[in-house]
C-alpha cells in the first residue's frame, strides 16, 4: 500500500499532536486525510511528498485588510489587549504581519522565511507564487511577510494577519498576488476603511480589489466591511452623511447587501462634547465591536466544519471530476493513437508493396527480399529479419503512443480549473499511460471497485464527523449535554483510533 514519505508523515504527526491539545474532535479527520492520500498516490494524483491535509490551513485564519491609516493595527491591538502593532497616520509597515500565539512572555518578530519554509503555516512556499507574478521577488520574501508571536490569550487557536494598505504602487503586483492568496485561505476577512477619507478616490484600490472582486466569490459571506474612526465625524453637521457616502461608494461596486460596521477605538477617540451624541456613538460602537468580536470567535467553529467539508469536497472532486476527465483523456489517447498508427502503417504497407511490384521479377534482386525473409529458405537470416521488423514496428507503436499522449495531456491541462488541478490530472494521466498500460484500458490506473468504495466510505465518514461537531456545538433537542467524563472518554477513544491507524 503506497504511503507518504517521511517528511509528510512527520508533518501529519505534528498536526495530530497539536489537535490533541487544541481540537481533539478533528483527530479522526486527519486519519481520513491519510486514507485519501494513499488512494491519490495509487491514482497518481499526488506525489509521495504531498498530502491533501497540508493544502488547507488547520488554524482559523482572520485577515485584516484595507487602506493605509484606516486603523487596522489599532483595532488589532485593542482586540489583543496589548500594543503589538505599530500605529500612525502614515504607512507604518509595508509587509503582511502574521500574528500567532506563543507560550513565551516576550514578543518575537521573525522573518518571512519562517512562514515560507514551515508547512504548518498557510504560507508554505508562497515565495514560488510571488516569483511567478514578479520575477526576482520570490527571493525577497522577507520584504513581504513577517511573523510575530505573543502570549495574547485572544490569539489562541487562530492566526491574525495585519496587511499593508492598498494605496502604494511599490511591489504592487506581488502584494496583490499575496493578498489574493491570503483571502483564499482566510475564514474571515475584515475590510477597513477610514472615515476621515470616505470619498471613493482615496479608497479606489480597496474598492476594486477587496469589494468588487469579492462579490462573485462563493464565500463572499466571510467579508465584513468596517468604517473605522467614525468618531472623527462627530463634529460634522450630519455625521450620518459620512456613513451614507461610504455605503454609496460600496454600492457603486455592486455591494448592496452585506455586513457593515462603524467603529472607533475607545482608547484613542476624539472627545465628543455633546453628551447625547457621545452616547449614541458609543452605543453604536460597542454594538458593532461586540458583533465583530463574536464573529471572530465563531471562526474557530466554522473552521472545524470547513476542514471536514474540504475532505468531502476533495473526495467527491476525485470521483465526479478528475476521474471522468481522465477517462475522456484516455479515450482521446486511444482514438488518436489508433488513427495515427492506421495512417502510418497503411502508408508503410503501400510503400513496401510499391517497391515489390514496381520492377519486373526478372531483374533478379527483388525476389531476394521475400526469399531472405522466408524462414524456410534462410531460417536464421529470415527469423532475424522478421524480429528486426517486429522490434521496429513495436518501437514505432510506443513512439506514437507517447506522441499522442503529449498532445492529449495539453488538452487535459487546458480543462483544469487551476494549476493545482492541472498537476493532479497530469500525474494521473502520466501514470495511466505508462508503457505497461494497455492502450485499451478504460479506467485510469489505480481506479477500481475498491478505490470507489474507499471514496464512498470517506464521504460517509464526513457525515459522521459533521454529526459529532453538531453534538458539540448544537443541541436542537434541548437535552442536557454529555458530561465532561463522557467527552473525555470520546476524545480518548478518537485518539486511540488515530494511533491505531
**Has residue 7 been placed in a domain?**
no
Let me know whether 106 and 241 are in one domain.
yes
Let me know whether 243 and 356 are in one domain.
no
**Has residue 82 been placed in a domain?**
yes
For the domain that residue 262 is a member of, what is the CATH number?
A: 3.40.50.300
**Has residue 255 been placed in a domain?**
yes
**Has residue 466 been placed in a domain?**
no
Residues 6+ apart with CB under 8 A from 439: 333, 334, 337, 338, 401
Identify the pLDDT of residue 171: 52
Let me know whether 266 and 332 are in one domain.
no
**Has residue 389 been placed in a domain?**
yes
CA atoms within 13 A on the CB side of 159: 23
Let me know whether 228 and 131 are in one domain.
yes
Identify the pLDDT of residue 119: 64
Identify the pLDDT of residue 489: 42
**Length of the chain as a residue count:** 501
Task: Tell me which of 417, 439, 461 is where a domain ends.
Answer: 439
Identify the pLDDT of residue 486: 45
Residue 261, domain extent: 61-271
CA-based angle 202:180:262, to the nearest 5?
A: 45
CA distance 195 to 134: 33
Let me know whether 226 and 105 are in one domain.
yes
Identify the pLDDT of residue 409: 95
Let me know whether 101 and 194 are in one domain.
yes
Cell of 433: 499511460
Q: Count up the domains in the chain and report the number.
A: 2
Q: Please, is 58 exposed, middle or buried when counting C-beta atoms within 10 Å of its C-beta (0-12, 13-18, 19+)?
A: buried
**Has residue 111 been placed in a domain?**
yes
Regions of the chain short of the pLDDT cut 70: 1, 22, 87-93, 119-120, 133-134, 165-174, 197-210, 212-213, 235-239, 256-258, 352-386, 474-501
Identify the pLDDT of residue 353: 65
Q: Please, is 35 exposed, middle or buried when counting C-beta atoms within 10 Å of its C-beta (0-12, 13-18, 19+)?
A: middle
Identify the pLDDT of residue 497: 44
Let me know whether 170 and 262 are in one domain.
yes
Q: Coil, strand or helix: which one is 441?
A: coil
Task: Tell me which of 393, 414, 439 is where a domain ends.
Answer: 439
Identify the pLDDT of residue 484: 37
Let me know whether 335 and 232 are in one domain.
no
Task: Tell me which of 393, 408, 439 is where a domain ends.
Answer: 439
**Has residue 35 been placed in a domain?**
no
Identify the pLDDT of residue 495: 42
Amino acid at each position: 500500500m503506497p504511503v507518504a514519505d517521511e517528511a509528510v508523515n512527520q508533518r501529519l504527526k505534528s498536526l495530530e499532536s497539536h489537535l490533541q491539545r487544541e481540537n481533539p474532535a478533528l483527530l479522526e479527520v486527519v486519519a481520513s486525510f491519510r486514507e485519501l492520500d494513499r488512494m491519490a498516490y495509487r491514482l497518481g494524483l499526488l506525489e509521495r511528498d504531498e498530502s491533501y491535509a497540508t493544502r488547507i490551513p488547520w488554524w482559523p485564519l482572520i485577515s485584516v485588510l484595507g487602506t493605509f491609516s484606516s486603523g487596522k493595527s489599532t483595532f488589532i491591538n485593542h482586540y489583543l489587549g496589548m500594543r503589538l502593532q505599530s500605529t500612525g497616520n502614515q504607512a507604518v509597515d509595508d509587509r503582511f504581519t502574521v500574528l500567532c500565539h506563543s507560550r513565551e512572555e516576550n514578543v518575537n518578530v521573525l522573518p518571512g522565511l519562517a512562514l515560507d519554509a514551515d508547512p504548518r503555516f498557510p504560507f508554505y512556499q508562497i515565495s514560488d507564487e510571488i516569483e511567478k507574478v514578479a520575477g526576482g521577488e520570490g527571493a525577497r520574501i522577507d520584504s513581504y511577510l513577517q511573523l510575530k508571536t505573543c502570549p495574547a490569550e485572544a490569539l489562541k487557536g487562530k492566526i491574525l494577519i495585519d496587511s499593508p494598505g492598498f494605496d502604494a504602487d511599490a511591489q504592487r503586483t506581488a502584494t496583490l498576488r499575496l493578498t489574493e492568496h491570503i483571502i483564499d485561505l482566510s475564514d474571515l476577512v475584515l475590510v477597513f476603511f477610514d472615515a476621515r477619507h470616505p470619498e471613493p478616490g482615496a479608497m479606489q484600490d480597496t474598492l476594486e480589489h477587496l469589494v468588487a472582486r469579492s462579490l462573485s466569490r462563493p464565500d463572499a459571506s466571510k467579508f465584513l466591511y468596517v468604517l473605522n474612526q467614525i468618531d472623527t465625524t462627530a463634529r460634522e453637521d450630519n455625521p450620518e452623511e459620512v456613513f451614507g457616502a461610504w455605503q454609496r461608494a460600496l454600492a457603486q461596486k455592486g455591494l448592496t447587501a452585506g455586513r457593515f460596521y462603524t467603529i472607533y477605538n475607545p482608547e484613542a477617540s476624539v472627545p465628543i462634547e455633546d453628551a447625547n451624541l457621545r452616547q449614541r456613538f458609543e452605543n453604536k460602537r460597542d454594538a458593532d465591536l461586540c458583533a465583530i468580536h463574536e464573529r471572530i470567535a465563531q471562526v474557530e467553529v466554522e473552521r472545524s466544519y470547513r476542514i471536514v467539508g474540504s475532505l468531502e469536497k476533495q473526495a467527491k472532486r476525485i470521483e465526479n471530476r478528475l476521474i471522468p476527465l481522465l477517462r475522456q483523456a484516455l479515450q482521446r489517447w486511444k482514438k488518436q493513437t489508433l488513427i495515427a498508427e492506421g495512417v502510418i502503417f497503411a502508408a508503410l504497407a503501400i510503400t513496401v508493396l510499391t517497391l515489390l511490384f514496381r520492377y519486373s521479377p526478372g531483374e533478379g534482386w527483388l525476389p531476394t527480399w521475400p526469399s531472405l525473409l522466408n524462414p524456410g529458405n534462410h531460417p536464421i537470416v529470415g527469423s532475424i529479419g522478421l524480429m528486426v521488423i517486429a522490434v521496429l514496428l513495436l518501437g514505432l507503436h510506443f513512439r506514437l503512443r507517447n506522441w499522442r499522449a503529449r498532445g492529449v495531456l495539453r488538452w487535459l491541462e487546458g480543462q483544469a480549473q487551476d494549476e493545482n488541478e492541472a498537476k493532479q490530472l497530469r500525474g494521473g494521466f502520466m501514470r495511466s499511460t505508462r508503457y505497461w498500460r494497455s492502450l485499451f484500458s478504460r479506467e485510469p490506473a489505480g481506479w477500481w471497485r475498491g478505490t470507489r468504495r474507499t471514496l464512498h466510505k470517506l464521504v460517509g465518514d464526513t457525515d459522521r464527523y459533521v454529526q459529532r461537531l453538531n453534538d458539540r456545538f448544537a443541541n436542537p433537542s434541548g437535552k442536557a449535554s454529555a458530561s465532561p467524563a463522557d467527552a473525555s472518554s470520546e476524545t480518548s477513544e478518537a485518539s486511540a483510533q488515530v494511533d491505531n491507524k
